[in-house]
Amino acid sequence: MNEAPLQKTSDAINLKKVVKQFGGQLVLDAVDFAIAPHEFVSLVGPSGCGKSTLLRLIAGLETIDSGSLSLPLIGRQKNPSTQGNQSAQIGETAFVFQESNLLPWLSAFDNVALPFRITGRPVDRDLIESTLDTVGISAAEFAKLPKHLSGGMKMRISIARALVLKPKVLLMDEPFAALDDLLRTQLNEELLRIWAGDKLTIVFVTHNISEAIFMSQRVAVMGADPGRIHDVIPVSFDYPREKSLKSSSDFAKCFARVSQLLEETNR
């Protein structure tokens, strides 16, 4: 599979001069950024630069103070006078947090069934089972409670829960931060496979520069005080991306460029 072409006819996500404050403190200032349908974009930057806040604004979990934020792919427009999500967009976007946030009293299967029940839709058992299979959860694990699952399996189930309603936009806030390097790399590769197959638009927050470069078509470098996007680095490697890519000189050059920008931006 070659690198997925970016569609220029319409953006999946478009932010124009977005401003967000908390308690009078400016968290995001005049953020301008557009993301194409089926693009994989990572956000990197220091703690407190507004990466997670930006994700929550896109998801509709927070409201913007000024500017505009639109998701043309799903027909949603947000500005300070039209806050909140419309019910028609429930399931169109999905959010994966750093913690798996599984309900401890529900089985793996029932955790993934939760979006159907929350939205009042009939539970599609076949779709739940196929989604769990897609993220590498076998039928033998479906009935297990979260306390009997490893950290990696919990995150897989969390991703399955986000994917089961077939969203167009997937927002991920450091989902692999707590995992060991081997498992993290494995889940990076599996997420890329899912992204390619399901034609998702993904916005991925990480502190790991190598992870951002390995997965993304573009890496947006953010700075703090206040938070804004200072530069966007294209990543031109073809897909599928093999682990050996990380030891190449081109990968090292891209890593050095992102690292330098982070250092310059946040001095």
SS3 86: coil
169-173/201-205 β-pairing: parallel
- Contact between residue 257 and residue 230 where contact means Cβ atoms under 8 Å apart: no
Examine the pLDDT at 113 and tell me if it is beyond 90.
yes
| DSSP designation for 64 | -
| DSSP designation for 87 | G
- Measured at the CA of 175, the angle between CA 174 and CA 176, to 5 degrees, comes to 95
- Contact between residue 228 and residue 32 where contact means Cβ atoms under 8 Å apart: no
pTM, two decimal places = 0.89
What's the pLDDT tens digit per position in 201-256? 999 999 999 999 999 999 999 988 888 999 999 999 999 998 899 999 999 999 99
What is d(CA 162, CA 183) in angstroms, rounded to the nearest whole number? 20
Residue 246 bridge partners (DSSP): none
Domains in the chain with CATH codes: 13-92+167-265 (3.40.50.300), 103-165 (no CATH)
Provide the CA 19 distance to its chain's centre, in angstroms. Answer: 21
- Contact between residue 173 and residue 97 where contact means Cβ atoms under 8 Å apart: yes
What's the pLDDT tens digit per position in 155-211? 999 999 999 999 999 999 999 988 888 888 889 999 999 999 888 999 999 999 999
DSSP string computed for 160-176: HHHHTT--SEEEEESTT
What's the pLDDT tens digit per position in 119-154? 899 999 999 999 999 999 999 999 999 999 999 999
What is d(CA 185, CA 218) in angstroms, rounded to the nearest whole number? 19
Tokens 């995992």 label which residue?
A: 179
